[in-house]
Chains A and B, each alone.
Chain A
Amino acid sequence: MAQDDKALIARLQQHGVEFVLIGGVCGVMHGAGLVTYDLDVCCRLGSVNLRRLEAALKDLNPWHRLTPNKLPFALTDELCSCLKNLYLQTDLGKLDCLGDVKGVGDYDAVLKRSVEFEMSFGRIRMLDLDTLIAAKEAVGREKDKYAVRLLRVLAEKRRGSN
């Protein structure tokens, strides 16, 4: 199944979804030479932003990828009030939307520790490098430790060039 992270990011940006890139793709954009199979974002999981997300993904056949019966992604007022995370499969690939990031905090905390980048389709935000390292250390899986080794090199070089 296709995974087109740039197209997914562009969709979110163009529909005004409040999100911050986290996880593997964030690491890639900072310069870590890793391969990651899904797109992780932290986003505000309130009703307004969820409706924007729903609109962004509407024609991509989104469904909850961790449900055994592939439940379609369809918001109700009740669901908006109790969602903590969203793990979606779409025609453009996997999109995981987390309401908070371990080691960092909720969306507002994540937003404070994010940096803005200009992409060809607009400005997007992603976790700053030091916070990404802290987040990966907080999760602590073997693959995160592997990534942290690379990310620490990038942080060290950045400090050196500053």
Chain B
Amino acid sequence: MIDAATLAQMNGEQVCPPHAGPAWREAFEYGFDMSLIEETLTKTPEQRLDEHQQKLNFILEIEATRSRKN
């Protein structure tokens, strides 16, 4: 049987942890997916840059495809 908290997490409900600072709370309330920030913090600066490059490549590919269709 899955507990309510785990099920909530599976369903994407994020809870502001009690020890979160004011900047964290503000960003959370603004609507940022804080799990992405927490995950990024586990990486080195170079790994973050590599991941960013992958995202950027994808976006640029979509834009190029859109331009070709137009």
The interface of chain A, by Cβ under 8 A from chain B, is 1-6, 25, 28-33, 35-37, 117, 119-120, 126, 149-150, 152-157, 160
The interface of chain B, by Cβ under 8 A from chain A, is 21-24, 26-27, 30, 32, 34, 36-37, 40-41, 43, 45-46, 48-50, 52-53, 55-56, 59-60
> Cβ of B22: which chain A residues have Cβ within 8 Å of it?
156
Establish whether residues B52 and A153, one from each chain, have CB atoms under 8 Å apart when the complex forms.
no
Establish whether residues A5 and B41, one from each chain, have CB atoms under 8 Å apart when the complex forms.
no
CA separation between A155 and B48, bound complex, in Å? 17
Establish whether residues B37 and A3, one from each chain, have CB atoms under 8 Å apart when the complex forms.
no
Main SS of chain B's interface residues? helix
> Cβ of A30: which chain B residues have Cβ within 8 Å of it?
45
A29 and B21 in contact, given A37-B56, A152-B27, A153-B27 (Cβ under 8 angstroms): no
Rounded to whole Å, the gap between the CB of B40 and the closest CB of chain A is: 5
CA separation between A25 and B24, bound complex, in Å? 21
Establish whether residues B23 and A152, one from each chain, have CB atoms under 8 Å apart when the complex forms.
yes
